[in-house]
Amino acid sequence: MSSRRSRQQSSSTRISDDQIIDLVSKLRQLVPEIRDRRSDKVSASKVLQETCNYIRSLHREVDDLSERLSQLLATIDADSPEAAIIRSLIN
């Protein structure tokens, strides 16, 4: 019974091949490392791998910018309008 339930759930949430192709195509356009390549011959697995790498890179950049804003905040008057802006950016 559980096996039948699993099949029913998986068939209702299954993504079609056309949808996967469309999503991979959208990722190709969003990820600079792929978008800027001259060749359109990039496998779906490579697109997913580069997308993961790009997301990790963006996370590191956000962390770095947050750290820099925190350091800047420590150097200015806590009650200044600039401090309020920096706090809003960090949160």
- SS3 state of residue 53: helix
Domain boundaries, the chain: 40-90
User: Shortest CA distance to 67 belongs to which of 91, 40, 90?
Assistant: 90
- Reported pTM: 0.70
Contact criterion met (CB below 8 Å) for 27 and 19:
no
For residue 8, pLDDT over 90 is answered with no
The pLDDT assigned to 3 comes to: 57
Q: Which residue has the higher pLDDT, 8 or 42?
A: 42
| pLDDT tens figures, 27-85 | 999 999 998 887 778 899 999 999 999 999 999 999 999 999 999 989 999 899 999 99
pLDDT at residue 5 greater than cutoff 70: no
